[in-house]
Chain A
């Protein structure tokens, strides 16, 4: 158990719909990352938050948005869903303090299937 909690574990929805994925980081971790992993693909970085503020943005579509709340949990919102959005979405957290880059702890992932 990494200490990172993601819900839901599985989600099936239709094209055009909107879903929200939720992540609770490890206790004490201020940084949250979202990654997308499609079939046979690597880990595509979407976005990073640190203590409530957006820190870095990767290949995140305009249809996707995220935020980190004061209690440090994060949500990834995916809208106008397309078949190609079907993937495993990982949330990860880490301690980012000064110049130290800590281990990334991944959640179990949310598997999204768009039909």
Chain B
């Protein structure tokens, strides 16, 4: 099956700085890469996703980039704010075999934004 690795496990930044979280995946059948944000005690929620037919997607202060050749994708948060503090999970899924309809999650990154 797919294996998703995520780095770093913890990340501390000053308010206003940028944060980058990186993930790699192993199965070339994966073609859907969402990012979920989980605030303390809450459920994970989708914040942005990208499909393999595009290399970059942006939504206000967050962006995701995908390099299919290298099998890695990254989350970029600019102008970070204290409310961005949360655990972020990357995931991968595909449309065939063991990747069909199933999201494989990374282990998460605890982002802390200091005011």
Give, as a whole number of angstroms, the nearest-CB distance from B43 to chain A: 4
A45/B102 in contact, CB under 8 A = yes
Q: Which of A13-21, A65-73, A103-111 lies at the interface?
A: A103-111
Which residues from B are CB-within-8-Å of A31? 101
Q: A42-B107, A99-B95 are in contact. Are A106 and B43 (CB under 8 A)?
A: yes
Which residue from A48, A55, A101 sits with its C-beta under 8 Å from B32? A101
**C-alpha spacing A101/B42, complex, angstroms:** 23
A90/B43 in contact, CB under 8 A = yes
Q: A56-B98, A101-B93 are in contact. Are A108 and B105 (CB under 8 A)?
A: no
Q: A101-B32, A107-B43 are in contact. Are A48 and B89 (CB under 8 A)?
A: no
Interface residue? A2 (CB, 8 A): yes
Q: A42-B89, A109-B43 are in contact. Are A104 and B103 (CB under 8 A)?
A: yes
B residues contacting A by CB (< 8 A) are 32, 34, 36, 42-46, 49, 89, 91, 93-96, 98, 100-108
The 8 closest A-B pairs by CB, nearest first: A99-B95, A96-B101, A42-B107, A106-B43, A101-B93, A101-B32, A43-B105, A42-B108
